[in-house]
A and B are shown apart, each in its own frame.
Chain A
Amino acid sequence: MDRFNNGPDLPVLGSSKKAAFERREPMLPHRTGALVIKKGMTAMYDPVTAKRTPCTVLQLDRCQVISHKRREIHGYWAVQVGCGTKEARNVTRPERGHYAAQGVPLKRHLAEFRVKNADGLPEVGSVITADLFQEGQYIDARGITRGMGFAGGMKRWGWGGQPASHGTSLTHRAMGSAGASQGSGSRVHPGKHMPGRMGGEGHTVQCLKVLKVDKENGIVVVNGAVPGPKKSIVKIQDAIKKPWPEVGLTIGVSTMGSTSEALEARV
């Protein structure tokens, strides 16, 4: 009867969506993240050790929880977060409907932050402030890298190029050979590095230390560089490769309160 490997007691198949979700689950952060604007880089001195640390300054702007993604409806747990603002006449009706249904103001940027379970979903309309992150904790920063346009192999993949002299003519930065001939099947193997569009794609930098947090001005200063140019949008969330920070789930997430009332007043 077990011919088709089918029954209630059988383990979950490794290739199923459920198994994939369960594999992923222990790596998911417990708390939401924040959408921030990259303001630029500077340096910070430690007055005691005199060590100079290059750092990136990030700023929050009206970062707010817009809606939730739930496991039973959407298949995963996530917090939809928006930041900035937009004029109503520049937003389409379907999009305005989404914000109105949740009773939250219009946002310029939207992003989702996966969380482990329903405990990590703050109330819709909650304002995320900079003190969501503690000084000394580690974060992962996701952003879109600078677009470099169509780049040659030397720039895109770090190839060495050809000699400047010794008879080299007109091929100083060319890619050279694309592979062997007969031994490898006389073809170019899939995934061969070649010139092409470089940058302008999503990139994550893991485990950046938070050096300074200023709640009033909405500033988060992190160690090192963050992908993307200035004024670009960066997603920051607790680092998945460090121990989760030991803070309450309500820290840095304050309920707005007046949102639904304001909505009632407008209707």
Chain B
Amino acid sequence: MSLVASPLRPLSYLKQAVRQCRNEREQCRRYATAAAVQYPSLQTRYPPPSPGFRPSQAIKQNRSEEGMKRIPVVPPPRSTAKACPDPIATLTQSQIAVLDPSGARTRLFSPANPDRLQPGDILLVRLRTGDPVSGVVLAIRRRHQPIDWAVLLRNQLTRVGVEMWFKIYSPNVEGMEIVQRKERRARRAKLYYMRKPRHDVGSVEGLVRQYMRQRMGGPMASRDAKGRDGNSGSKKNNKRGRN
């Protein structure tokens, strides 16, 4: 049995390949044992790899160092970096433990808390220095680590729109209280449309004053009102002290 065609089948020239195949088939038909047709040009040239063969292992075996002096390798010490995979979060947590020991501020802004502060709520921010500031929450900026989170309040002072950003963990912020929640959840995360005159809620000073009076209760309320009218910071500070 001499095969005329070479066992290599040309790849690019289709016509010749078909012709060669036909040729081979013709030859195979001449034998009685042509049950399983085996085209010689389709046979692999190398035996298949044995089961369990791993190319990566083969490469490593080829890089043999037999006959060379063995170089000892000292085992590495335990990794400190693995013990603390996210040092920034560790640093943030240690700072929050100092800046917000009660965890009230964290709860107020935690996305996992269903009663968290949401855009559209009216917030009162008590400051360590100066008067408390209140306003509608236009946006909550959750950026990088919680230590950088901030809240944007909008209010009106002497009929002029005023906006202020507050870092939620700033040591200047003594406390944050929700004066009033938005009746229906705002359908946007950033309520910048409220800057337009058509949507502007205006001053929230009245609501805040009412809230403070409620919190104080009784005779304190009238004094509080007087303090407001007088617009004196010291009285307000006194009031905060009693609170």
Contact = CB atoms under 8 A, between A and B. Distances in A.
A106 B74 CA distance: 7
A135 to B, nearest CB: 13
A45 interface: yes
Interface stretch (A115-123, A177-185, A212-220): A212-220
A223 to B, nearest CB: 13
A59 interface: yes
Report whether over half of chain A's contact residues are helix, strand or loop; otherwise say mixed: mixed
A6 B189 CA distance: 82
Contacts of A24: none
A40 B89 CA distance: 11
Given A52-B170, A89-B60, A106 B99 contact: no
A93 interface: yes
Interface string B11-43: 000000000000000000000000000000000
B171 to A, nearest CB: 4
Most buried by B among A52, A89, A263: A52
Interface stretch (B78-86, B201-209, B233-241): B78-86
Report whether over half of chain B's contact residues are helix, strand or loop; otherwise say mixed: loop
Interface residues of B, number: 34
Interface stretch (A94-102, A146-154, A166-174, A192-200): A94-102
Contacts of A212: 91
Interface residues of A, number: 44
B210 interface: no
Given A50-B172, A219-B84, A263-B74, 13 more contacts: A39-B88, A42-B148, A60-B81, A62-B78, A96-B71, A105-B73, A105-B77, A106-B74, A214-B90, A216-B83, A218-B87, A263-B72, A266-B73
A103 B65 CA distance: 21
Contact of A62 (B77, B144, B170): B77
Contacts of A219: 84, 87, 90-91
17 contacts: A39-B88, A42-B92, A42-B147, A45-B169, A45-B171, A48-B171, A52-B170, A59-B81, A62-B76, A85-B79, A93-B71, A105-B73, A127-B77, A212-B91, A216-B83, A218-B80, A219-B90
B5 interface: no
For the complex of A and B, the 7 pairs showing the least CB-CB separation, nearest first, are: A217-B84, A61-B81, A218-B80, A50-B171, A85-B76, A105-B76, A105-B74
A81 interface: no
A93 B76 contact: no
Nearest to B63: A89
